[in-house]
A and B are shown apart, each in its own frame.
Chain A
Amino acid sequence: MSRESAARRFAVAAAALSAAAAALVGLALLAGASPLDAVRALAEGAAGSPAALGETLARATALVLTAVGASLAFRAGVLNIGLEGQFLAGAVAAAAVGPLLAGSPLAARAGLLAAAALAGALWVMPAAYLEARRGVPEVLSTILLNLVAAAGVSGLVRGALQDPGGDYPQSRALPDAVRLAPLAAGGRVTAAILIALALALFATLLLEWTPFGLKLRATGLAPAAARAIGLPRARLRLLAFAASGALAGLAGGLEVLAVTGRLYDPFTAGVGYTGIAAALLGGSHPLAAAVSAVLFAALGTGSSAMQRDTGVPGALATIVPGVLVLAVLAARARLARKAA
């Protein structure tokens, strides 16, 4: 996937955009609104004002990180579908250690994010172990760990982590001094988006430009050849598992640190799954996946405005990513068959 020709990329993009446009126009017509008005409302709601753009970028942060995490795993041939659970593990760790961390805000933030990344990486380890030792497909084990994580969050915010000062199923709030301040007053976007984009760039450099990345890609593309050639397949896969889990965990930690300030239930509306969709749309290319993630976030913020202004259902934000990914996968599969 890394070496798609320009013509091929264009064909795939054309297929994806036509499918997304068809979904948008169809929904607008169903709702009895003008498709043009709907598009205008969508665009303005997503990026029409500094506040709208800020909201889009705030939402994009976690998506970018899970999309990059999914890309790293997929390129190494590791089908980590459990980014949702690893995201929750990171958020739990952040909510658990956040209120305990003393010292300078900078050190507290670093400690909190390290704990979150570590928790995400640890949450994927049972799946990595079961795959390596027992041959359990990681698609199944990671997705099941998502359910465990969701149930865990639900229990923790009503138990060990519940805020003693209230009856709500939520954890204690982080001290304001520790929380990330918005980049612009009144908005929700923080430096977290910069961390996420920097990591997307870093992941691209790692995959495409380093000896380690080449080994990782070789393992993902041809596991049997990688083994016969003498690549440390088991170690490479373990690292890919851990890196994608850590990125998803970091996304959970940043969500607590920058957006919510605490853990509650339910904490995610599928950021792990949408991250996978963004990775697929971006061909498991970390930068392209990050762009897709920002696009999906924009759809999310824009569709709320669109529903308010034109009455076109906001469910568009969930329908379009699904349609986009299906169109891209179908177009790629067709081109791959022609090339074979």
Chain B
Amino acid sequence: MFPGEIHALLGENGAGKSTLVSIAAGRLVADSGEILRGGSQASYRNARDARHAGLVLVPQHDLLIGAASVADNLAFLDPAAPFFESAAARRARVGRLAQAFGLELGDADARADALPVGTRQRIEIAGALAGDPDVLILDEPTAVLSPDETAALFASLRKRADAGAAVVLITHRLAEVFAGADRLTLLARGRSVKTCRVSETTPQEIGGLLLTNTEGEKNFLEGVWGARPLDSRADTPGGRSQTHPSEHAAQSAATQPLPSLVLTGFAPDEARAVRAERISLSLLPGEILVLLAIDGNGADTIARAIAGLERFSGRVEVGGVPLPLSGDPLAFRAAGGAFVPADRREEGLVAALSLSENLALPNPPGSVFLDRPAMRAHAEERLRAFGVRYASPAALAGSLSGGNQQKTVLARELAHRPGVLVAVHPTRGLDLASAAAVRSRILDACRSGTAALAVTADPDEAQLFGAPLRVVYRGRLSAALEPTTPPAALGRLMAGLEG
């Protein structure tokens, strides 16, 4: 790492990117080896030491204080904040940072735990940039940002680098690397495979290296990946080459006219977030609808309310069964629903239970005693089918990397052929290969009759489902859009500049 450069760290899920930067920032202890900074050994006992030494890490999952307001959280993150600071000054900081870095930080008085993941991540990024760190490490910062915010972030990062700071950026988006970074390092299974200047390589070469270093998934991926160009911003014929799921829906509609999911005058009762307008829509078996929105616009709340995790008004029917207005995840599941939450660590998995126990929930096998052999066999079958990299079915779910955790959640949710799948950010934080694998699993499920509602903040991702899109902006749904709508147009809709 040199001063003044933006260095991208690439690698598939579980390659060790997050672990590496956590060690550098004092969050984890290294098993061996040393870290040099400015020629001398630098190892920080904790994140606070590192921050005071000018090294700041923006983690993949934010570490804001849930019960504190946005203004207070930003004050905590600012090393220059005075010991006593007026509430007005703290509030003013929110506006100043939002302006300076072009990030939407939400209401200064809102509690952090009431905010969507994307806003929380933006607060963490603004807090990190505010301290003018010498070394800034960002772990997948753009996963939750809109295209405009990503551009603004890169401008801010470039400004830091020009001021002599070193910036490390973990990302799965090759386009960003080639647009914004100076050098890159590719990790695979904890080893550095390649380090070079971005100008000396091509997206094709790096994309190829990423794939050849994921041996276990290679065979499985050939069918999924083969036709698709690596730079997904280019036109995506690959997305259309697969059977369009709604064709299947059209065939089965004659024999099975009952829709899987019907919303009538539906709106989540969510006082703390954006209030969604009343929505009416219906999905036939096998149909997919993609809701595309920047976090904080209510799309995730719509999904959560359908899954029974928020109260709502209006009517939701899953498989013809109306769900209670008070929100009941059990009723949603009993009617054949499956849910992939945005926050896989808090809501997707029980980190302190083993993989086989997680995959056996919510209805573990066994009449009197747990049928552990059956649990183990089921877990091995599911984990293999979803290409999860794991040590043993007895390993704790919390020991997996983020991407592998996400695949485990999908492996569980798609195990029982759900009638309706509601998935929030199903591929967020996954490497290209894993994301493609997850998408193809969802498409497989739809081919066998599952109706899917996917929420995403990534226009490229939205297009790759090859299904109708609706953009959600401040709780309002756009008209249905073709999956081939150009990303730039989608970006304008997401930002509320059009429609």
Contacts and interface: CB of A to CB of B under 8 A. Distances in A.
Interface in B454-485: none
21 contacts: A209-B370, A211-B363, A211-B370, A214-B353, A214-B360, A214-B361, A214-B364, A218-B350, A218-B353, A222-B346, A222-B350, A225-B348, A225-B349, A226-B350, A227-B309, A227-B329, A227-B347, A229-B329, A229-B362, A230-B329, A231-B361
Given A227-B329, A228-B339, A230-B329, 8 more contacts: A205-B369, A210-B366, A215-B364, A218-B357, A225-B349, A228-B329, A229-B329, A230-B362
B184 to A, nearest CB: 29
B205 to A, nearest CB: 37
B361 A218 contact: yes
A126 interface: no
Interface string B332-354: 11000001010000111111111
B365 interface: yes
Interface in B363-392: 363-366, 368-370
B287 to A, nearest CB: 23
A22 interface: no
Given A3-B396, A221-B350, A221-B353, A228 B370 contact: no
B347 A228 contact: yes
A188 interface: no
Given A210-B370, A225-B348, A215 B362 contact: yes
A230 B346 contact: no
Given A210-B366, A222-B346, A338-B29, A228 B307 contact: yes
A221 B352 contact: yes
Of B333, B362, B365, chain A has the most CB atoms within 10 Å of the CB of B362
A228 to B, nearest CB: 4
Nearest to B343: A224
A232 interface: yes
Contact of B368 (A210, A222, A224, A231): A210
A209 B357 CA distance: 11
B329 A211 contact: no
Contacts of A214: 353, 357, 360-361, 364, 370
A338 B29 CA distance: 8
Contact of B341 (A205, A218, A228): A228
Majority-rule SS of A interface residues: helix
A231 B362 contact: yes
Contacts of A229: 329, 361-362, 412
Contacts of A217: 353
A232 B350 contact: no
Majority-rule SS of B interface residues: loop
A225 B29 contact: no
Contact of B369 (A209, A218, A225, A232): A209
A230 B370 contact: no
A196 B341 CA distance: 43
Interface in B42-70: none
Contacts of A232: 330
A109 B369 CA distance: 30
A221 B345 CA distance: 12
B19 to A, nearest CB: 12
B346 A225 contact: yes
Nearest to A213: B370
Contact of B365 (A3, A211, A222, A225): A211
Nearest to A230: B333
Given A210-B369, A218-B350, A221-B350, A228 B360 contact: no
Interface in A224-245: 224-232
Contacts of A211: 363-366, 370
B25 to A, nearest CB: 14
B118 to A, nearest CB: 19
Nearest to A234: B330
Of A205, A213, A229, chain B has the most CB atoms within 10 Å of the CB of A229
Nearest to A235: B330
A205 B346 CA distance: 28
Contacts of B396: 3
B332 A230 contact: yes
Contacts of A205: 369
Nearest to B350: A222
B352 A3 contact: yes
A224 B347 contact: yes
Contacts of B363: 211
Interface in B412-448: 412
B136 to A, nearest CB: 23
Contacts of B364: 211, 214-215
Interface in A289-338: 338
Interface in B110-144: none
